[in-house]
Structure 1
Amino acid sequence: MLLSWLTGVGAGIAFLHFMQKLLFPYFWHDFWYLLKVARVGLRIEMFGLRGELVTVLDKFLSHAKRQPHKPFVIYEGDVYTYQDVDRRSSRVASVFLNQSTLKKGDTVTLLMSNEPDFVHVWFGLAKLGCVVAFLNSNIRSKSLLHCICSCEPRALVVGEDLLGTIEEILQSLPEDITVWGMKDSVPQGVISLKEKLSTAPDKPVPRRHHVASNLKSTHLYIFTSGTTGLPKAAVITQLQALWASALLWAFGCTADDIIYITLPLYHSSASLLGIGGCIELGATCVLKKKFSASQFWNDCKKYNVTIFQYIGELCHYLCKQPKQEGEKDHQVRLAIGNGVRSNVWREFLDRFGNIKMCELYGATEGNISFMNHTGKIGSLGRTNFFYKLLFAFDLIKYDFQKDEPIRNEQGWCSSVKKGEPGLLIAPVSAQHPFFGHAGNKKYTGKKLLYDVFKKGDVYFNTGDLLVQDQDFLYFWDRTGDTFRWKGENVATTEVADIVAMLDFIQEASVYGVVVPDFEGKTGMASIILKPNKSLDLKKFYDQVVTFLPGYACPRFLRIQGKMETTGTFKLQKFRLVEEGFNPLKISDPLYFMDNLKKSYVPLTKELYHQIVLGEIKL
C-alpha cells in the first residue's frame, strides 16, 4: 500500500514538473531573480528604517578595511588594491579639502579617459560629499562648454591626455570654475592636481564630510543625448547608484569573479554597473583604456576574466575578427550588456563558447529597467504579471510620421497589442520616481507625458519603441531626433547646428540611416545650399571633425534643392530615413566621408556596394 502511494506521489510530482517545464519553462529562473530583487529592496528599506544610509562609497570603504590587499582595479598590468584606491582617493580629497574652497554639495566636472585616476578622483570627491559630473571624453568645443556649464560646477578635473581639448575652451569657461589637470606641467590657468597629490596625506577623510542625509540626494550627473538639442546632465541619486550596483549580483556574479570593463566610465554601464557592481560584490575589475577587438581575448586569458560588459557593437566587432585557434579557450562565463542583435548573438556563442549573454535595458535617467536573466536570444528583458508588479510599464501606440504618441478623440493614449511596436512608458510614482536633469527645467519636462490614460497621471517617456510577445520584450527602434551609433546616442539637432554654421549652407537636416550588418544607425546630413554658393566638401569635412565627436560625424551627405516640411514646418525626415543613402534610388548628389582623403567624396555605385558588403570600414 505504502509503495503504491509513494509511486503515485512520485508520478504526480513528475507530471507537475513536466507541466511546469511545458507551460512555465522560466518559472524557477523568474522566482529566484525576483526574490533577489525583493531582497535588495528590503535591504535598502531596512537600512533606512534603522537610520543607516549606506551608500556605494560606504560599501567600498568597508571592503578597504575588510580586504585591503585584494585587487580592486587592474590596469595595463598594474594592480590597485582596495587599500591603494582608498589611500589615493583620500589624497585627492585632502587636496581639495585643504587647497580649494569646495564644500559638501558642490558639483565638480570630471573629464578623463578610462584610467585608475578616474576612480581615484571620483571617490576622492565623493568622500567630500561633492557631486561629480562625468563628461564624455569625445566631445569638444561648443558641446563640451555647454555640458560643463549646464551643471554649474565649482571645479573641473581634466586627465593628462585631454588637457588639449580643454585649452580650446579655457578662455570661455566661467571665471568661478577652477580647472585642475592631472599632469605636472599644465597650461596657464590650470592647477596641477598631480603635483599636489605627490605631497598630500592619505589619511582617511572623516565620514561627516560625505555621510548622506537622504538616499534621494544627488550623487552624480551622467550626460545623455536626449531627443533634442545638446547633451543633458541626468541626475543620479545615491538610491539609483545602489540599485545599479546590485545588477551584477542579481545576474549571479560573485566576489570571486573578475570583470573586464572596456566601456567608457563616463557612461552609467561602466561606472554604475561595472565599478559599482564590483564594489557590491567585493570583486576585481580589469579596466581597459579603450576597447580593442584584437586584444580582447588575449586580455581575458591573461587576467583570468570571468565576466565582461558589452554593447552590441563590441560583440559585432569581436565576430568580425579573423578566426583563430583556441577561441573558446578562456574562462569567461557571463557577458552583461545591451544592444546585441540576434544574428550576432548566435554567431558570438557559436564562435566563443557557452557564454551566458545577460541583456538588460535601462535609460540612464529613467525609472524603468528590464533584465533578460534567462539568456533568451534577442530579448532585452522578461515581462509577465509578476514582473509588472515590480516594474510597471506600458507600450502605447505611436505615430511614426508625426513622431508623437497617438491620442484618441478624448485625448487618451492606448496600448498596443502583443507583437506590435509601441512606445515604452513607465508611470512616475513615489516608488518609481523620475529625478530629471540638471539645469533648465524644460529638459526634465520633455521626458514626461501627462494625462496618458486618465486625468493627472504622469509617465516617463523612454523614447524607445519595443515589441512584446508573451513573456519577453524586444527592441524595435528609437523615436525623436536621435539615433545610436558606435554605442553612443547622437542628437541630430546638435549635429545640424554644427553643420549649419558653414557659410554656404542654408538649411540642414540630420538623421540616422541603417547600414547593413552594422549595429544602430549612422549619421546622414541632407543640406540645401545658399543661392550663388558652391559646396566645399573639404570645408564640410573639417567642420564636422573639428566640432563633433567621431561617432556623431555624418558619414553620408545629400544635396537637395528643397526640403519637405510638415504643417508645423518641422523638417520631414521620415522619407529621407527610408531612402537612406542608395544612389540607385536617389537622384540627388550623394557624398561619403573619406577619412583617408580628409574630405567627402562622391558616393558612386561602386563605393555604395563596397560599403554595403562591409569592404569599407565605417
Structure 2
Amino acid sequence: MYISTLTLASLVIIPVLVKICCPYFWEDVLYLKDLFRILLTFVLRRKRRPLFLAVDRFIEQSVLCPNRTFIVFENKSYSYRDADRESNKIANALRAHSRLQSGETAALFMGNEPTFMFTWLALAKLGCPAAFLNQNIRSKSLLHCFNCCNAKVIIATAELEDVLKEIEPSLHDKGVCVFIMAKETNTTGFTSFTDKVESACDFPVSRSYRSQITFTSPAVYIYTSGTTGLPKAATISQTRLLAALAVLASNGVTAGDVIYLNLPLYHTAGFLIGFIGTIETGSSIVLRRKFSASQFWDDCRKYNVTVIQYIGEVLRYLCNTPKKENDKQHKVRLAIGNGLRAEIWREFLNRFGKIRVREFYASTEGNVGFVNYTSKIGAIGRVNIFHKALFPYALIKYDTEKDEPVRNSKGLCVEAAKGETGLLVSRITNIAPFVGYANNQQQTEKKKLRDVFKKGDLYFNSGDLLKIDQDNFIYFQDRVGDTFRWKGENVATTEVSDIVTMIDFVEEANVYGVQVPGHEGRIGMAAVTIAKGKELDCESMFGHIASYLPAYAQPRFIRVQNLVEVTGTFKQMKKKLVEEGFSPALITDPLFFLDDKERCYVPMTEDIYQAVVTGSIKL
C-alpha cells in the first residue's frame, strides 16, 4: 500500500517538477519524435529503386486520392487526377513540339496560376529542371537569368508576352524556344502553346525520362531576392526537394487541411512550402494570384481555409485593415512563415484568435533551418541537441564595422556567448550540403567560410545575425553587409547601385535601407553624385529604375551629394546615411521622392515626409 501511494505521488509530482524545471520538455520530446519520423521517411525513400523523387510523391497521391481537390483557383477546382492529366498533356506537348531533352533546363515566366504548377509537374516528369523567373524582372535581368541556367525553353503566360517581345532578338540569338500559354501569338519567333496542350494526349509520361536523374541533379532554380539587380540562381537539388516534402507534414498539416497560398510560386516559400509541402500531405490549395489584405479573411471563410502562409509583412497588413466584428470567425488554426515581429505576432493573435503560429528560419540556398515548434512569441527556433548534431551550426562573433568574423590569435573564429548576437554559420556536410549558385562560382565561394573552428573546416555563411537566449530560444537580429529587407524581399545594395550607376548622369551611387515608422524592414534610398557637366533628370531616372528593378528594390528616396564618402579601404560608408534617414528638415542635401503617380522623382518636401511617416502615402 505504501509503495502504491509512493508510486501514485511520483506520477503526480514528477510531471509538475518537469513542467517547472523544464517547461518545454514535452514539446522538445514531440519535436524529436517528429524529427525521427521525418528522417526515417526520408531515408526509406532515398533507398527506393527506381529513384523516388518529389514528383513521384505527387503521382502516388493522384492514385491514392484522385478525386480529392488539389487546387482551387478563381472559383475553379482541380482534383489530383485533373492535375496529373493536365501535366501529362503539357509534357507530351513539349515532347512533340520542342527539342527539350531530359536534363535540359526550361524557364517558367508566369505568376500564380494552376498552369505554373501543372507545367512544373510536366517538366519534373520529363526529368527537366525548371528555372523560376520572377515575373517582375525585365530586360537585362531577364536575359541574365537565361545565362545563369542555360535555359533551352521558356514557357510564359500570355500576359508577359510583351515583356519577352522586347528581348526577342537576344532570345533568338541564344536559340531559346519561347512558348506562350495562348492559342495564338503574333510575335515572330514565338510559338503558341495552349492549342498544342489541348490537342495533346494525357497518357502517363514514362518513368524512363527520369532514369538519368540522381539525387544531386538540379530540380529547380530559384532566384534569390538578395540580388535584385542581377539575380543569383540558387540550385535546389532533387535531395533538397525530397526533404521539402516534409515541411507542412512536420507542422501537423494533414490531408483534411486547406492551405491558402498567395505568396509567389517562383519564390521558396510559395513553391517549397506551399506547393511541395501540400503534395506530401495530400491537402488542398486555395491559390490566389497575389496577396490582398482586404479579401484575405473573406477568402478564408469562403473556402474553409485551415492553414495560412505568411511573411512578416503579410500579417502586419492584415492587422492594419479596419477591424470587423467577424475577425475571429474563421477556421484557420495554423499560420506558418517567417519574418514576424513580436509586436505584430501579439497583435495578430489578439485580433484574429487562437491561431498556432509556426515561425521558421531558412534561406533558399542555405543548409540549415529552424522552426519555433513551441510558438514562443518572437523566436525563430530553439536549440535542440539532436538537430544540432545532424546539422552542425554555430553563432560566431562578428565585427559589423569591418564586416567580417572576429578571429583569435590562431586565425580561428570565436563562438558567441549565450545572449550575444553572432553570425550564423553551418558546417557543409553530405547531410547538409551547400550547392551554391548556377554558373556563378564567385558568388558561391563568397558564401563559404573556411577555418572556422579548426584549420581546413568549411561552413556556410548565412549572412544573418542571430541570438540564443538563456532558455535556448533563437532570435533573428539583422543581416550583415549591404543587404536589407523590404516587402519580404532581400535587397542587395551593391547590385541596386550597379543599376543606378548605369544612368549616364550618375557618377556614383551609395544604396542603403532606411527605416520608416510602422513598416517592417528598411526601404531603399540612394545617395548619388552627378557626373561633371551633367544634370539630374528625374523622369529619366524613374524610367531607368522602373525598367530594371522590381518595385521592392527601387530606391524610394534619392539624396544628391557632392561626393560619396568611403573608408580607408574604399568601402562606401553607409552607417551615418542610414541614421540620418530621409527627413528634409535634417538633411541639407537635395532630396527626391519616387512618386508612382507622377512616374517621376519629385523634390522631397516636409509635407511629403509627414505623409510618408504617418502612412498617408502608402509605400
TM-score w.r.t. length of structure 2: 0.97
Q: Give me the identity figure in percent.
A: 49
For residues 454 and 228 of structure 1, what CA distance do their matches in structure 2 show?
35
Aligned to 1:484: 485
How far apart are residue 366 of structure 1 and its match? 0.8
Q: Is 1:158 aligned to 2:159, yes or no?
A: no
The answer for the alignment partner of 1:15 in structure 2 is 13
Measure how far apart 1:574 and its partner are: 2.3
Letter in 2 for 1:162: L
Q: What is the match of residue 199 of structure 2? A: 199
Please give the alpha-carbon distance, in whole angstroms, between the structure 1 residues aligned to 2:328 and 2:225: 37
C-alpha distance in 1 between matches for 2:345 and 2:615: 19
Match of 2:123 among 122, 125, 128: 125
User: What's the counterpart of residue 508 of structure 1?
Assistant: 509
For residue 292 of structure 1, what is the amino acid of its counterpart?
A: S
1:447-486 matched pairs, under 5 angstroms: 447-470=447-470, 471-486=472-487
Unmatched 5+ stretches in structure 2: none
Structure 1 residue 229, shift from structure 2 partner: 6.4
After the TM superposition, which residues 227-376 of structure 1 pair with which residues of structure 2 at under 5 Å, given as runs?
A: 230-376=230-376
- The Cα shift of 1:493 comes to 2.2
Q: Secondary structure at the match of 2:532?
A: coil
- 1:183 paired residue number: 182
Q: Contact between 2:107 and 2:153, CA under 8 Å: does it hold in 1?
A: yes
**Structure 2 CA distance, aligned partners of 1:562 and 1:602?**
20
Verify the 8 A CA contact 1:218 1:236 in the aligned structure 2.
Answer: yes
Question: In structure 1, what is the Cα distance between the partners aligned to 2:417 and 2:307?
Answer: 37
Cα contact 2:390–2:431 (8 A) shared by 1: no
d(CA) in 2 for partners of 1:212, 1:281: 27
Q: Counterparts of 1:405 and 1:170 in 2: how far apart (Å)?
A: 45
Is 2:481 the counterpart of 1:497?
no
Structure-to-structure mapping, 1:18-37, within 5 angstroms: 18-37=16-35
Mapped to 2, the partners of 1:601 and 1:66 lie a distance apart of: 59
How far apart are 1:361 and its partner, in Å? Answer: 0.7
Tell me the equivalent position of 1:525: 526
Q: Is the 8 A contact 1:230 1:491 kept in 2?
A: no
| Cα drift, residue 211 of structure 1 | 4.2
The alpha carbon displacement at 1:412 in A equals 1.4
What is the letter of the counterpart of residue 269 of structure 1? A
- What number of residue pairs does the alignment pair up? 616
1:217 CA drift (Å): 1.9
Structure 2 CA distance for aligned equivalents of residues 131 and 461 of structure 1: 26
Q: Report the counterpart of residue 140 of structure 2 in structure 1.
A: 142
The reply on whether 1:167 has 2:168 as its aligned counterpart is no
Query: CA offset at residue 226 of structure 1?
Result: 4.2
Does the Cα contact within 8 Å between 1:316 and 1:344 map onto a contact in 2?
yes
In structure 2, distance between residues paired with 1:408 and 1:228:
35
Query: What CA deviation, in whole Å up to 9, does each residue of 1:573-596 have, x standing for no partner?
Result: 222222222333322222211112
* Aligned-pair CA distance for 1:413: 1.1
> Mind listing any 5+ residue stretches in structure 1 that lack a counterpart?
none
Q: Which residue does the alignment assign to 1:610? A: 611
Measured against aligned partners, the alpha-carbon deviations of 1:116-160 in whole angstroms (never above 9, x if no partner) come to 000111111111100111111111111111112211011111111
**1:536 maps to what in 2?**
537
CA distance in 2, matches of 1:430, 1:44: 14
Distance 2:10 2:350 in 1: 38
Runs of 4+ deviating beyond 4 Å: 226-229
Note the C-alpha offset of 1:52: 4.9
3-state SS of paired residue (2:140)? helix
* Superposed displacement of residue 415, structure 1: 1.3
Name the CA shift for 1:507/1:258 in 2 (closer, same or farther; >3 Å): same
| CA offset digits 1:313-339 (Å, max 9, x no partner) | 100110110111111000000000000
- Mapped to 2, the partners of 1:50 and 1:363 lie a distance apart of 28
- Change in CA separation of 1:129 and 1:227 when aligned onto 2, cut-off 3 Å: closer
Whether the 8 Å contact between 1:227 and 1:463 is mirrored in structure 2 is: no
> Is residue 161–residue 180 contact of structure 2 (8 Å, CA) maintained in 1?
yes
1:234 is matched by which residue type in structure 2?
A: A
- Alpha-carbon contact 1:401-1:574 (below 8 Å) kept: no
2:95 is equivalent to residue 94 of structure 1 = no
Moved more, 482-491 or 264-273: 482-491
CA contact (8 A) 2:129 2:219 kept: yes
1:600 paired residue number: 601
- One-letter amino acid of the counterpart of residue 498, structure 2: D
| Range moving further from structure 2, 552-561 or 576-585 | 576-585
CA contact (8 A) 1:228 1:480 kept: no
3-state SS of 2:438 partner: coil
Tell me the amino acid that sits aligned with residue 590 of structure 1: L
Secondary structure in 2 matching 1:294? helix
2:183–2:194: 8 Å Cα contact kept in structure 1?
Answer: yes
